[in-house]
Amino acid sequence: MSASGTAGETEQNLPFLEIVSKLTRHSDVGEFVNAALDGAIQSTRCQGGSLVLAGDPPRGVRTGEVPSEVDEQISRWEDALLDRLRMSPWEIGDTENLPVSTHTVQSTQHLLTSIPLLHRGRVTGSLTLVFPPGHVLSLSQRQILTWCARGVGNLAGMIQQLTTTQHGLNQLSFLHETSQALTSTLDLREVLDNTMELATEILDASASTLMLIDEETSELVFDIPHGEKRELLRSYRMAMDRGIAGWVATQGQPAIVNDTTQDRRFSREADARTGFLTESVICVPLQIKDRTIGVLEVLNKMSREGFTQDDLRLLSTLAAQAAIAIENARLYRSLREERDKIIRVEEEARRELARDLHDGTLQTLSSISMNIDYIKRLLEHEPLSAIAELDRLQETVVQASREARTLLFQLRPIVLETRGLVRALEAFVEQLQAEESPSFHFHDGGFDGRLANGVEITAFMIVQEAVTNARKHAKPENVWLNVTTDETHLRIVVEDDGQGFDLEAAQASTKQDAHLGLVNMQERAGMIDARLTVQSRPDHGTKIVLQVPLSSLQDQSRESRAST
């Protein structure tokens, strides 16, 4: 070739060098691929072409005048290349001569030329150009193809790496934001609603929802929907054997479905309710200690590539954090409920004490005060009569003293701390036996062990509540209090021969805060992992049985004694 020919070709190549310089300004892979193909077509003066980059997902663009027969050939080449790269890396190295494939399409006589794109000696994609029929590649066009193979390939590789790094940073930032949101408050709905919004944004999707499992009904509850039609799904329920979410919940495995019309597991039930069209789904289980408590689902990926394994890893990490947040919020809510129960029990105990003081001790003290005034007047006019009144006053004082001791015993039975539960129950019955009615009968069953201090106090309060209810409401002639033990439980039975009551009606009425004594006893029993059963029928008396797991109490007792 002559020197003038070489100079002319170099002048033709100058526009491509300018285009390559402009390509360095792109940081988005999609924009870069389009600009690179346009630059190659402009520099080689071909009529069209295609550029594809391997990846997850692959990126490609095709433009220009490409007949259908030529388009089919390009697709076959690119599919074969991507299949090869998915199987294993293809190393060419930094050789001077790169493989340039040329092919004349028989039906149209168009010339196809293709060259692999390289990044650090590894094939990352291909560039295919379409030339008119009868065209022969010039030296400058071959040089441009070679520069594309290296320059475009390296730039594309660096942009992909930059994009991957940026994507990773975005994910880390998202997980950091999510972690902060999940740990900043224990308001479950607020935290998870924010998390769903972040999940929808980071996965570039249309909507998301968090469904919790209702174990009693075996249903999925759309607890935290986010996106279009969210209000129509809030608290909506779906059977666990329906849909992709149901499959994930029952199998405990994630699922990616990028075309719901091709998956038999998909159910249109929720779509029919809301009018929302679900096209693609990614769904992961929410698990705590290998127990699935719900599912996290994101719908309709915005990009045409669909949800990827990278999306699955991100959503799985988010699901793990969300599951912990749910468990923490549930525990917090349970603690608050227990606290509220304790407050209600203590408030009722205070009201009961106030009633006892007002109706009993205070009335007696008022009577004593009036009697003293009356005796003062008798001493002035009828001294002998005053002596008889003093005797009656002494009986009243003794009665007041007895009532005060009973109240003090109920508030703080010292014998419970010094001698244990059974001896405290015995002392309790002895105090009650001083009253005329009913008759009390106590049997200790030979048990003289000591339980954990908190357990003894709670068990005593339950028995005290049962006896008080019997005295006030059942009008019995006899009350029996029996203690027995077996290998696993301490069993305390409070039984009376009073008028009894309709147990089902009483349990139903507890929802309106009636029969609060039964509620108090059940709640206190739950606090010490005990079981409380109530048997009663109208005119057939009442039997209340408290069973406390003895082995755990013995362990607690040893710990208590060790700590002291």
pLDDT tens for residues 76-129?
999 999 999 888 888 886 655 677 888 998 889 999 999 888 888 888 889 999
Where does 412-470 have alpha helices with state H? 414-419, 421-433, 453-469
Taking the model in full, what pTM does it have? 0.48
Instruction: Tell me the pLDDT band of 560, cut-offs 50, 70 and 90.
Output: very low
CATH number, position 99? 3.30.450.40
pLDDT of residue 430: 86
pLDDT of residue 112: 92
Domain for residue 404, yes or no? Answer: no
One domain, residues 211 and 329: yes
Whole-number average pLDDT of the chain: 79
Domain boundaries, position 112: 3-165
Domain for residue 392, yes or no? Answer: no
Domain for residue 434, yes or no? Answer: yes
One domain, residues 238 and 122: no
Nearest to 297 by CA among 236, 267, 254, 265: 254
Q: How many domains does the chain have?
A: 3
Does the structure show a pLDDT above 50 at 563?
A: no
CB atoms within 10 A of CB 367: 14
Distances in Å between the Cα of 133 and the Cα atoms of 70, 112, 137, 141 are 12, 10, 12, 16
Backbone CA torsion sign across 170, 175, 181, 183: negative
Higher pLDDT, 171 or 470: 470
One domain, residues 80 and 124: yes
Domain for residue 217, yes or no? Answer: yes
Domain for residue 352, yes or no? Answer: no
One domain, residues 202 and 326: yes
Q: Please, are residues 199 and 300 in contact by the beta-carbon 8 Å criterion?
A: no
One domain, residues 221 and 159: no
Q: Phi and psi for 230 in degrees, rounded to 5?
A: -60, -40
CB atoms within 10 A of CB 526: 14
Domain for residue 374, yes or no? Answer: no
Q: What is the DSSP letter of 92?
A: -
One domain, residues 225 and 81: no
Instruction: Tell me the pLDDT band of 219, cut-offs 50, 70 and 90.
Output: confident
Domain boundary among 108, 140, 165: 165
One domain, residues 197 and 158: no
Instruction: Tell me the pLDDT band of 556, cut-offs 50, 70 and 90.
Output: very low
One domain, residues 323 and 418: no
One domain, residues 134 and 161: yes
Domain for residue 342, yes or no? Answer: no
CATH number, position 554? 3.30.565.10
Q: Please, are residues 276 and 300 in contact by the beta-carbon 8 Å criterion?
A: no
One domain, residues 444 and 319: no
Mean pLDDT of 366-386: 80
Domain for residue 418, yes or no? Answer: yes
Domain boundary among 288, 318, 334: 334
C-alpha span between 442 and 195 (Å, rounded) = 60
Residue with tokens 């006030």: 472
Q: What is the pLDDT of residues 528-539, one digit of tens each?
A: 888 999 998 888
Q: What is the DSSP letter of 290?
A: T
One domain, residues 229 and 82: no
One domain, residues 221 and 249: yes
